Structure 1
Amino acid sequence: MSETQLQTAPSTAETQLTRFVELVQGIDAIVWEMDAVTWRFTFVSDRAFDILGYPVSQWLNEPNFWQDRILHPEDRNWCVNFCAIAINEGREGEFQYRAIASDGRIVLIKDVVRVVKDECDRPKLLRGLMVDITNCKDSIYGVSTEKSWQLSCERAAGMEVETVQSALRKSEQRYRSLIEATAQIIWDTKAQGELVTPQPGWSAFTGQTYEEYKGWGWLNAIHPDDQPHTAQAWETALANRTLYQVEHRLRQKDGEYRYMSVRGVPVLEADGSIREWVGVHTDITKRKQVEEARDRALAEAQAARAELHRVFMQAPAAIAITRGSNHVTETANQLYMQIVEKRDILGKPAREAFWDLQGQGFFELLDRVYASGEPFVGKEMQAMFDRNNDGILEESFWNFVYQPLLDVDGKVYGIMTHAVEVTEQVRSRQEQEKKAEALTQLTEALERSNRELDQFAYIASHDLKAPLRAIANLSEWIEEDVADQLSDESRQHMNLLRGRVHRMEALIDGILQYSRAGRVPTTIETVNVSTLLDEVIELLDPPAEVSIILQSDMPTLKTQRVPLQQIFMNLINNAIKYSQRPDVRIDVGFRMGKSYEFSVTDNGQGIAPEYHQRIWGIFQRLESRDKVEGTGIGLSVVKKIVESRGGRVWVESEPGAGATFRFTWNN
């Protein structure tokens, strides 16, 4: 083929196609095509509207259009039978019948029919030509009188019965072969519906033997739930001598049910009575599965939509949707409507519905989001809002989002507002900030006071100790100067004087220690408690008669060394001083709970329960200073150190049973 021929070939094909279409549409008849299984039109030429008045779309879209709309009721049965036999035999033919036009006119039609088969030689399509022969003299309906109409109808019916009977006799063997070869189930029954002849297709599909399906046994292969409406459809078709059409589930030989579309046509005797039925079962399981999947998807979508609506309406946030550039409120959830319950907002523009927000920037934000398509997120935005619609503006705070809503083309058509009122939280935080500021000021004042107290304690200690040391020195000088004149009683008084001076110095040191307890900053370090206790015992240097026993598995902590050392020194020193026994035993142990719990236990005289709280007070003593030397400050220092670090300290004791001092310490 030359290049010129190649270039002109498409043009020639297009020209031929155009000519073909013009030819079909120009034929003074209805050119049609129909599905051989469903009997539904797949093509109808435009002349259909001119001849019978029905639009082409109605021919194509309406099921059973030819049978129910076109055919005259008196011609319907034999016409349907004629076509059914033509399909089963695969033969061409022509026949005449009366058609009902859309305006009620009776139009005589000559229909030329051709059967088109598929690659498996099964009927696939019917194609034909409907010609209006109303005015033709050779029509079997050509006589215009009513009597002639009746005679013509009888003649047509007689001719058709004869044609049908002849066709049935000639095609019986071919029909049986078709039953065995087709993928569909083709069947025939007696006039009342019982099966009396072998049905190879039925048996192959259902697995029923002839003995099982003969008579009415075929009903047992139909799903029990579908048997009632199957029987009802059959009774209706039998009574009216019309097409039998139904859908039901049919059991395969493997036990699985398949959805089937059933069509049966009555074969009539000359007197119009039914001789037998011929029909076909077509498997529509895939179509049903698609429909069921569609229905499930639709139900799920509806359920999801209902759930989304429920969530939308019950959401713990105020949500509303506005539409258009004027931000007309289209819908809002319950919380949103509760907030604005005293004003009408639905169907109104934002500037009209929320007049009280004018000048606060909210409308400008809506305009910006609508124009840009970018969302806006507001945090703790202040709004002066007429909550009660009484003209009084109240301050409120909101976290909200203006989210643009896009259509399928990506254009903004509205805005969703999602708002949560945080007025109480903001006010609470503001109050907390005020309290925090006051606390900061108080802390700074306290720190200044503590610094001044430390300075005062240091100065007081220095200023108080200086004269005390002078008194002690002076007493020694006097005693040396008049040593030969002093009596023993006077020397005792001098010793007592110096003892009181030393006691005062110890008291001043104790007060200074107490004032600093828990406030002196020290670094966190790794502290082996066993090693720490060894150092404490070495510093205390207890008498030989004192036995101090340490628990073997003392922990290692990340903590401040000095405060923990002060606690152990005070507790162990107290146990030594107040035991008043020749065989003093002190046990130091610990146990693990939510925090470390340490204990110092002695075998001394014990403490009565009524003094368990009193002993922790400053300057509180259970023995006189002349009997046991001490300041009465040691346990107060212990309590202050422990509690300043979030711990707890207490004593467990009974008179005569020793005492156990316990305290907790965080790692």
Structure 2
Amino acid sequence: MGMPAVALLPSARNRSRPVARCALSLFHTQQSTGAKTQAIVRLHNAQMANRAAAGGRLLSSAGASPLGTSPVPNELEPCDRELLVSPLGSRAENTLRSSITMNLEPSVWPRGDGEMAERIREHDWAATLLGPIGRWPQSLRTAVDMVLAMPGPANILWGPAHVQLYNDAYIAIAKDRHPELLGRPAAEGWPEVHAEVLVPVMKRAFAGRATRIADLSVTLLGHDGRSVQRAFDTTWSPIRDDHGAFAGAMELLVEVADRRREETNLRESEAQHRLLIEDWVQAVWETDGSGVVVADSPSWRAYTGQTLGEWLGYGWLDAIHPDDRSYAERQWREAISAHGLINTEFRLRAPDGGWRWTNVRAAPVLNAGAHVEKWVGINIDIDIRKRSEERYRTLFDAMDEAYAVVEVIRDESHAWSDFRFLEVNPAFMQHTSMPYPVGKTATELLGTPNPRWTQMYGQVLDTGEPLRVQEAEQTLGRIFDLNIFSLDRERNRVAVLFTDITGRVCAEAALRESEERFRALVTAGGNTIYRMSPDWRRMYQLDSATLAATAEPIEDWVEKYILAEDLPRVRAAIDVAIDTKSLFELEHRVLLADGSVGWVLSRAVPLLGPNSEIVEWFGAGSDVTTRREMQERQGVLVAELQHRTRNLLGVVRSIAQQTMAQTGPTEHFREQFNDRLSALSRVQDLLSRSDQEPITLRALIQTELDALGAGAMQDRIRLHGPFVRLRKATVQTFALALHELATNARKYGALTSEHGQLRVTWRTYAADGEGRRLLLDWVEEGISHPLEGRDAVSKRRGYGRELIERALPYVLQAETSYELGETVLRCSIDLPLSERADPRTRA
């Protein structure tokens, strides 16, 4: 299977004398190279005949190659002689010439560096039907040399079994059957086509007849490994053996799939073209050479509603809108006079009496003498497009953005040099403050315009790529934001959509200047400003006089700025702020730019989006290192003062004890006096540390209970309520009241028995016009001896109850209640958390 074949004809008419016959007739599909090749083959056949006649001796000079220095035998036909004496230019012919020469001399065969030449040399032919390669007939060897030298796919089927040999170009056809095809019968190599195609072809070859098969379809393996249908034109030429009998055939193949595909595409294109014309064109017509209508056009009459009589001559002008008629006639006559094309638009009357826009295109048809024989034309309905353009024009005129169509102009050196305004919308004049520019060039309007305009417009035309840019026009004193795109590259036209952004650019510049001043102020004041992502994982920006500033987003800000010991507190405060979308506020230590440790008071607020989602955090930090150092020194002083105060209270206690020893009632007075002094001392301790640790309600209650040894009773004590920070002015009096309650519970109340329970709960709430208040409920249950020894709480109004019911309302503006039952005690205290005017000072 391959390309058009070359036939090896008999080398002698009979066995008695050598003859040669011209082989040119067998090469109807080849050029002169093929004819020369066949002439070489004929020469070889003649030499073979001479050898047979001379008993194995060549008739040429001894040892000389018939294609070497020996003369061309006279037995060759004149046409062969003429071809052989001419130079063989092609590599294939030279290869074939040398191959035939080599076949007449003992050597390794076949020669060549191609894959198939090597495979044929190395194949075990003794195990095939052809037998050892040294015993092959010379005609087969010559045919093999020819096939290996051919650039196109070719193969040989030899002998009754149709043993196959082929060249390198045939490998692409054999695909997965290669190299097993070599030396195998065709019935095994090509079982699907052997009986139906190859057997009839070989019968004809053995009878000395050539065969040509057009469009032979074969299923082969494609490049992607899948089976595909491929078609070939094949030519089979018979080959004789050394005895003159037909022993095989040579096949040349030409693939015709591309031709088929082109023919199919052409047919589809023609069909699509017909459909396109029928769908696109509403009227097709002709005129004579002078432009006068002399033939009917049913499509014109159907499109316009004119009769044949109205259409002929120049009657077609009556179908044109009166406002367009003179224009259309002028365009037509100018085209007739110039023998040029016409492409124009106007309105035509429709059969229903309305008007529709049409695009008329016409061209002259010239005869052999270059004279106009007739005109042919078409009408394309563009009514929808024109009406869309009208709507576009309305939108175009109403646009806030400026729009212009310009024609870019080249100079004599073909460089872009200027541009002319072809079309603008009303906003153009508003954005540029220029007069109406249509028809004028930029140079005419501005004198010395910015040369960048022409460069950018030319760039868009050269590349075909749109361009977005901001550019200033110093002549106008304005800055524009422009979108430039190609509109018609053949006519050097671009469209420009732009906006005057001078005000915005100036405002941005002013904003940047303001930001710089603000940063300078922040830096000079020792402050820090920063921006964080919604989840605080990324720091967008930080400007600071003390911390290492960053202008680029970073994610390792925690390691860079926060001490590891403070990280849990910072993380906890961040989580609360994110969850509540509220202010982040915290004092913590930081690593300063110089490597030292400082303190900062950091506050950040969330910036919320339209759906109340956090967009980012904006924060500021104040350097409080100096204040913290002063507070630490103050803390030392306060601690010393506290120590001295405690010593003083110890002296007071000692004096009281000394006095009681002399004046009595000693024991009961001493116990209560000492307890109350201890409570007062604990309060002073809390107050001394209030700047570092806020005094909370829970801490105050827990301190009193722990002082009374209630730590071992936690399973019977329940404290529950929110985080409440107490004012310093509230703590001392409130703490004495809690001390009285805790002391009575421990000595006489719920904590005296194993079954008693103490429950202290509190909550905050907003009171109308009074700010937030605290409501505390103290409940004791399971009191075992409700009426025994309750320190005047049950029998008289002693110090503790007086403190709760009178002192708290007076000093703290609290509302209190105290109820004692047989087994239950309930006390509630409701007091303000924020400062307010003392009602005693009101007029």
TM > 0.5 fold call: no
TM-score (norm: length of structure 1):
0.31
TM-score (norm: length of structure 2):
0.25
